[in-house]
Copies of this chain bind each other. A is one copy, B any other.
Amino acid sequence: MAGKADAKEEKGITAKKASDFSEWYTQTVIRSGFIDYTSVSGCIAFRPDSYFVWETLQKALDQRFKGIGISNAYFPMLIPEKHLNKEKEHVEGFNPEVAWVTHTGDSKLDERLAIRPTSETIIYDTIAKWIRSWRDLPLRLNQWCSVLRWEFKHPTPLLRSREFMWNEGHTAFATKEEAEEERAAVLKIYGDVLREYLALPGVVGEKTQSEKFAGAVASYSIEHLLPEGKAIQGPDTHDYGNNFSKAFEISFIDREGQKRYAYQNTFGFSTRELGAMVAVHGDDKGLVLPPKVARVQAVIVPIFKEDNKGKVLAAASRISAELAKSIRALLDDSDAYSPGWKFNQWEMRGVPIRIELGERDLSKDEATVVRRDTGKKESVPLAKLDKRVAELLDEINEGLYGRAKEFLDTHTFKVKDYDELKSIANSQKGIAQAPWCGSEACEKSIKEETGAKITNMPLDAQAHLKGKKCIYCGKEAKHMANFAKSY
């Protein structure tokens, strides 16, 4: 069988991240056993290490959503074509990438059913029945599911997959203000979880009208910068205003007896973040997993020969059991592979800490502890091992975040003129931040001429806009915008 001979996961990583990012990325996610291709193009298999990252993120987000009053629900994966067509911008945005069910068994369906590319239309058609009075609001739901967008000619695992998992929050409020408050709270949750769990920084900002979500009044995103100098959109929130509530008749009678339309938000965080995590933190040895999302946080590799095997393994087993009380520790005691081979494997898989235990370590009541992120080695007295390992796990997360933030900051350029913007875009050097007049014409011209689009308009960069002129047309600037080549 062909698959057996060329199975890739035993090969090491040969491509270099700095010189061939794209090949390095693919080798890293596949050969480390993180994910795998399947026979459905663009749809990947999440193996246990990657699924663990996702379920950890899910728990962290879910707990925070519930903390601000959002409940989980679940709606069908199929959407009748007529519903998908109800909101004009929305259907135009999604129709080209919808997978259509036309038959069940041997029968042709009367009406085609779309596999959800996103669930607005099936959810709003359903909840319209649940909302009649101001007493029924707010209605704040979230759904965990996978969605399908058959959009990519060249899918990239995790970063651009045709099927991906996400949360999709769908909420309805009586007032604009409540909706706004929720969007701010959710953006904060997204940013906190990215930092705390994935050690990922990002740029928080508003999308332009041409880059916003299909059907929204306004969209807000967290944008990442990948090491190759390209940006990629992370989690987002959307202000729907009354756009969908009018299309789906999500109305209510207010306290004064007047009929009004609900204000709606949506928000999503997807498995694309796993791709950003790999791209930002990984190195030429493979994955580097942030400790909170690593299925194995510390691997214990005993180093023994035939004559001291029993003694070393007994100590390793004792130490591993002790560590397992507070962290996710794994003892790799197989004698089918050499310690050196094991070091390479666990490094490729991104395990944050390796603990080497040889007779020399044990004779001094010590262990050799190696950080995956920096490669730094230290001898730690066994009596202090659990405390030191816990400290190191925190330090690794902070270190990863710090280096990623530094990369983002040093690759964000406040450009003086259009030439500088062009030069940054052409050399794919990072993000060019510049004042912009707000016109779609300028945005479009810049994109056509440089390949860089407006990723978003950073919230924290809008303060000092007074007197600034648009980088392209020279008219009064209305926004500070981030321009970058983008996934």
Q: A73-B45, A76-B163, A163-B77 are in contact. Are A100 and B103 (CB under 8 A)?
A: yes
* Residue A278 interfacial (CB < 8 Å): no
Q: A157: shortest Cβ distance to chain B, in Å?
A: 12
Within 8 A of B (CB), among A384-433: none
The answer to whether A102 and B105 have CB atoms under 8 Å apart is no
Q: Is there an interface contact between B96 and A106, defined as CB atoms closer than 8 Å?
A: yes
Residues in A85-123 with C-beta less than 8 Å from chain B: 95-106, 112-113, 115, 122-123
Give, as a whole number of angstroms, the nearest-CB distance from A181 to chain B: 21
* A463 contacts the other chain (CB 8 A): no
Q: Which A residues, 1 to 60, have Cβ-Cβ distances below 8 Å to chain B?
A: 1, 3-4, 7, 9, 33, 36, 38-40, 43-48, 51-52, 54-55
Chain B residues within an 8 Å CB radius of A46? 73-75
CB of A135 closer than 8 Å to a CB of B: yes
Q: Is A339 an interface residue (CB 8 A)?
A: no
* Pairwise interchain contact B96-A99, C-beta atoms closer than 8 A: no
Of B7, B72, B150, B165, which contacts A52 at CB under 8 A? B72
> Is there a chain B Cβ closer than 8 Å to A141's Cβ?
yes
Which residues in B have their C-beta under 8 angstroms from that of A146? 74, 77, 145
What is the 8 Å Cβ interface bit string for chain A, positions 303-323, against chain B (1 contact, 0 not)? 000000000000000000000
For the complex formed by this chain, how many copies does it contain in all?
2
Pick from B1, B98, B145: contact of A249, CB under 8 Å: B1
CA distance A135 to B337 in the complex (A): 11
Whether B126 lies near A36 (C-beta < 8 A) is yes
A40 to chain B, nearest CB (A): 5
Nearest-CB distance from A8 to chain B (Å)?
A: 8
Q: Is A447 located at the chain interface by the 8 A CB criterion?
A: no
Are A48 and B36 touching (Cβ within 8 A)? no
Contact B115 A105 (CB under 8 A): no
Q: How far is the CB of A170 from chain B (nearest CB, A)?
A: 12
Q: Is A478 an interface residue (CB 8 A)?
A: no
Q: Are B96 and A38 in contact (CB under 8 A)?
A: no
In the complex, chain B residues whose CB is within 8 Å of the CB of A100:
101-104
A275 in contact (CB, < 8 A): no
A95 to B106, CA, bound (A): 9
Q: With A7-B130, A74-B45 in contact, do A105 and B95 touch (Cβ < 8 Å)?
A: yes
Give the top 9 A-B pairs by smallest Cβ distance, nearest first: A43-B76, A104-B150, A48-B71, A46-B74, A3-B129, A100-B103, A96-B105, A102-B102, A51-B72
| 10 A-B residue pairs with CB within 8 Å | A4-B132, A40-B122, A43-B78, A46-B75, A52-B71, A74-B165, A96-B105, A101-B115, A102-B103, A145-B146
Additional pairs, 19, CB under 8 Å, beyond known A45-B126, A78-B163: A1-B249, A4-B132, A7-B129, A9-B130, A36-B129, A36-B130, A38-B125, A39-B122, A40-B78, A40-B80, A45-B74, A47-B73, A48-B72, A48-B141, A51-B72, A95-B105, A96-B105, A100-B101, A145-B146
- Listed in ascending order, the chain A residues whose CB lies under 8 Å from chain B are 1, 3-4, 7, 9, 33, 36, 38-40, 43-48, 51-52, 54-55, 71-80, 83, 95-106, 112-113, 115, 122-123, 125-126, 128-130, 132, 135, 141, 145-146, 148, 150, 163, 165, 249, 251, 295, 334, 336
